[in-house]
Amino acid sequence: MTPDGSDEAVYEDTQAVGTSFATSPLHVASAGRLDLTLTDADFPSRFQSLAMALTHGTTLDGFIFGEGTLTFDAAAEDYAVNVLATPDPALRAGAYGITVSATPEEPPPDDGGGGGNGGGDEGGGGGGAWSPLWLGLLAWRAVLRPSRSSPGCH
């Protein structure tokens, strides 16, 4: 049913059904790539089962079984975070956590350019990746001077 003949729905909702099912609203103000993380808080005990489904309207955007992270491309709209959990039967209670944050950007690929320890066509350096020479010297030093936590050292 639409009031003006458009494709926009007049009503959309996600409902919780069952005693161990909970729904929480998630409002996304601006579009972007987000990480939604579900964590069992182990309080007062671990859940026997834990699952989460992210929906908006009648659309399933993704799910997690157990603990984990769902990465999704969010639109600026309202979502529902639906959690189904089975607590320890003796305790009949449990706690979980939900975190939503921007997905970290992946570092740009290494183009092999300057920098590093004397690396690059431009020479110079400082900072950056360890050169094979430094790695070799560190390994040699470790053989000559083992750490105090190594077996046999007092």
Query: Average pLDDT over the chain, rounded to whole?
Result: 75
3-state secondary structure of 133: helix
CA pair distance 71, 104, nearest whole angstrom: 10
Q: How many CA atoms lie within 13 A of 93 on its CB side?
A: 3
Higher pLDDT, 25 or 106: 25
Q: Is the pLDDT assigned to residue 82 strictly greater than 60?
A: yes
Of 41-55, 86-100, 122-136, the poorest mean pLDDT is in 122-136
Q: What would you report as the CA-atom Rg of the chain, rounded to the nearest whole angstrom? A: 26
Q: Which two structure tokens, joined as six digits, stand for 45?
A: 């005990």
Q: Is the pLDDT assigned to residue 12 strictly greater than 90?
A: no
3-state secondary structure of 53: strand
Of 37-46, 53-62, 92-101, 122-131, the poorest mean pLDDT is in 122-131
